[in-house]
């Protein structure tokens, strides 16, 4: 029922101020906590149900307005002003009678306006009737199947299936996103395809929910694993090396396979490849068979023959580029070390334990794409570089000293042996 303000013989300036304040307050209070609108509500689209709050405005031969709720039976009351009595403060408060209740259940705003106009025309002549939605109802939607938190969710008429599923924690790893059932009044209303909605913006594939809807998420019928250097939508990890604090991003997810899906389709579902993906060395594992693919060619031309159709259980592997630096030669612990941006050759030699005593540091070099670069100026090292620390080449006098010591040792051993035999 709410507030009724009379603008004819009961009109006073203070009442106009009171009316404006009351409506603004009512609107603010009823929309608190509601989700944001994706577009203004269209009269021909919004369906009235119990819990909605509306403002009814009568203009013409008589002028007044009042707010009212749609009752639990789906009706709106017809309020007619009968008097206006002053309060102790001198403010006139209108009094009115409820003369009828009009069913508006399952009517849109425009249809409800037409229905109310016919009823009000029995009491007044030459009037215009308008209704305005000022408070939105909420209701219960049920979720079942492969959702993380099945059960009931409080929803609003402006929310779509995807938003309600998100409230329930999203689908499980094996939940289908293309064959979701929206059941309404006990019957299958529509098959929801969230992949088409997300990829192509087809809003009809992601309809608005209504009171009492049941959303059922079945299991995937067929699936493909995408593993490696993709951004990922199903499983995403950020791994940190304990030794170097270098970050290595990897992703592995299970994605639904639809009839006709090819490699490019599954890469798109997996969020696309990362900048560090090795597009030249990708492959598909199909049972025990390894199918080499050129992902760079596929992503630049989806019509290429390499963009093959996938089968249930396939695994797409996108390896990362070589993110290590090799240190070889005369160092304490030669081997491969995780690449870290902005480190220099001396830093990686240090990670390898430092040079050995016979190392020739001045002759060390970097092998980069088949070319040899000196490390005398301690350059910044790039991914895949190979640092070689060669052995020190002895000078001629060192060689003579070493040979002389060996000969002396042999002579000493010979003389000792001769003395023992005498």
Domain ranges of the chain: 4-135, 139-217, 223-318, 324-389
- What local confidence, expressed as pLDDT, does residue 156 receive? 94
Q: Which residue has the tokens 């990670």?
A: 351
Query: Beta strands of 310-391 (E only): which ranges?
Result: 315-318, 324-329, 335-338, 365-368, 371-374, 386-389
- Residues in the chain, pLDDT under 50: 1-32, 235-247, 396
- What local confidence, expressed as pLDDT, does residue 58 receive? 95
Quickly count helices (H) and strands (E) in the chain.
8, 22
- What local confidence, expressed as pLDDT, does residue 10 receive? 38
H helix or E strand, kind and range, residue 255:
strand 247-256
Give the Cα separation of 388 and 375 in Å (integer).
Answer: 10
Give the Cα separation of 240 and 289 in Å (integer).
Answer: 32
Percentages of the chain per state (helix, strand, coil), in multiples of 5: 25, 35, 40
- Do the Cβ atoms of 144 and 215 come closer than 8 Å? yes
- What local confidence, expressed as pLDDT, does residue 232 receive? 83
Q: In the structure encoding, which two tokens stand for residue 325, read together?
A: 């630096």
| CATH node for 223-318 | 3.10.560.10
- What local confidence, expressed as pLDDT, does residue 38 receive? 78
- Do the Cβ atoms of 357 and 337 come closer than 8 Å? no
Homologous superfamily of the 139-217 domain (CATH):
Outer membrane lipoprotein wza domain like (3.10.560.10)
Residue 116: phi, psi to the nearest 5? -65, -35
For 79, 269, 370, the CA distances from 263, given in Å and listed in that order, are: 64, 10, 33
Fold agreement between 223-318 and 324-389: yes
Q: In the structure encoding, which two tokens stand for residue 74, read together?
A: 């789906």
Which residues share a beta bridge with 219? 175
Question: 256 burial class (0-12, 13-18, 19+ CB within 10 angstroms)?
Answer: buried
Q: How many Å is the Cα radius of gyration of the chain?
A: 39
Give the Cα separation of 280 and 318 in Å (integer).
Answer: 9
Q: What is the pLDDT of residues 378-414, one digit of tens each?
A: 999 988 899 999 998 765 456 566 667 777 777 777 6
3-state DSSP of 228-264: ECECCCCCEEEEECCCCCCEEEEEEEEEECCCCCEHH
Which residues share a beta bridge with 102? 76
Q: Look up the CATH architecture of domain 324-389.
A: Roll (3.10)
Which are the contacts of 250, defined by CB distance < 8 A and separation ≥ 6? 228, 229, 237, 239, 320
Q: What is the pLDDT of residues 19-63, one digit of tens each?
A: 333 433 444 444 445 667 877 888 888 899 999 999 999 999 899
Pairing of strands 214-217, 139-145: parallel
> What is the phi-psi region of residue 313: left when phi exceeds 0, alpha when psi lies from -120 to 50, beta otherwise?
left
- What local confidence, expressed as pLDDT, does residue 353 receive? 95
Q: In the structure encoding, which two tokens stand for residue 53, read together?
A: 């709050």
């Amino acid at each position: 029922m709410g507030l009724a303000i009379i603008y004819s013989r009961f009109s006073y300036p203070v009442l106009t101020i009171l009316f404006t304040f009351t409506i603004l307050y009512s609107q603010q209070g009823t929309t608190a906590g509601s989700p944001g609108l994706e577009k203004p509500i269209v009269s021909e689209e919004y369906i009235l149900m119990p819990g909605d709050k509306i403002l009814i405005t009568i203009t013409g031969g008589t002028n007044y307005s009042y707010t009212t709720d749609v009752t639990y039976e789906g009706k709106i009351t017809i309020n007619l002003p009968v008097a206006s009595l002053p309060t102790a403060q001198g403010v006139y408060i209108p009094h009115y009678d409820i003369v009828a209740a009009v069913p508006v259940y399952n009517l849109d705003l425009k249809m409800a306006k037409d229905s109310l106009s016919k009823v009000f025309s029995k009491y007044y002549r030459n009037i215009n009737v308008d209704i305005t939605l000022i408070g939105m109802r909420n209701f219960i939607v049920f979720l079942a199947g492969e959702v993380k938190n099945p059960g009931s969710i409080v929803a609003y008429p402006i929310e779509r299936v995807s938003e309600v599923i998100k409230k329930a924690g999203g689908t499980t790893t094996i939940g289908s996103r293309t064959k979701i059932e929206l059941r309404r009044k006990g019957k299958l209303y529509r098959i929801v395809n969230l992949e088409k909605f997300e990829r192509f913006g087809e809003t009809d594939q992601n309809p608005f929910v209504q009171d009492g809807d049941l959303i059922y998420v079945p299991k995937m019928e067929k699936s493909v694993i995408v593993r490696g250097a993709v951004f990922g939508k199903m499983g995403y990890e950020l791994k940190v090396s304990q030794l170097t604090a270098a970050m290595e991003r990897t992703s592995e997810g299970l994605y639904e396979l639809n009839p006709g899906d090819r490699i490019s389709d599954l890469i798109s579902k997996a969020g696309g490849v990362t900048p560090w993906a090795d597009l030249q060395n990708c492959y598909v594992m199909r049972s025990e068979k390894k199918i080499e693919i050129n992902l760079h060619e596929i992503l630049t031309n989806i019509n290429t023959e390499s963009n093959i159709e996938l089968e249930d259980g396939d695994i797409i592997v996108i390896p990362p580029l070589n993110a290590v630096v090799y240190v070889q030669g005369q160092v304490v612990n030669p081997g491969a070390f995780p690449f870290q941006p902005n480190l220099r050759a001396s830093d990686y030699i240090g990670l390898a334990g430092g040079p050995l005593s016979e190392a020739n540091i001045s002759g060390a070099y970097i092998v980069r794409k088949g070319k040899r670069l000196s490390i005398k100026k301690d350059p910044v090292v790039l991914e895949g570089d190979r640092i070689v620390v060669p052995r020190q080449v002895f000078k001629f006098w060192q060689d003579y000293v070493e040979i002389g010591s060996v000969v002396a040792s042999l002579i000493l051993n010979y003389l000792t042996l001769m003395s023992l035999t005498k």
